[in-house]
Amino acid sequence: MGGETTPSAVAIEASELASSRSDAVQVTQVAADLNSDTAELGSCSAELGSDTAELGSDSTQLGIENARLDSNCTVLARQDCEKSQATFRTTEVLN
């Protein structure tokens, strides 16, 4: 009986093989989940990039509108100053 395997040894080997297969299935599932999560992360990253570009565009537009408003305020301030000067001159002439 030197080289023969016993039913007990065969059962142990079969059990170890089944356990190894189960481990392999779990590793494969974890890898699939990881690939799915990576794809989702890539999609989220692309969406974030798009949102960032849109925010940049909106920020540029806001800067343009702010410059226009500043220009309008400058014009109004100049007109107000000119009116005040004209009123002052008129008051001086009348006095």
Best mean pLDDT range from 8-22, 39-53, 79-93 = 39-53
- Looking at per-residue confidence, does 60 or 9 come out higher? 60
pLDDT score recorded for residue 66 = 97
Predicted TM-score (pTM) of this structure: 0.55
Q: What is the dihedral of CA 75, 77, 81, 87, to 10 degrees?
A: 90
Give residue-wise pLDDT tens across range 23-47: 999 999 999 999 999 999 999 999 9
Q: Provide the token pair at 6.
A: 């016993």
pLDDT band at residue 3 using 50, 70 and 90 as cut-offs: low
- Looking at per-residue confidence, does 46 or 12 come out higher? 46
Residue with tokens 């100049």: 78
Residue with tokens 């599932």: 29
Q: How far is CA 71 from the centre of its chain?
A: 34
Give residue-wise pLDDT tens across range 82-95: 998 888 888 777 77
pLDDT score recorded for residue 1 = 46
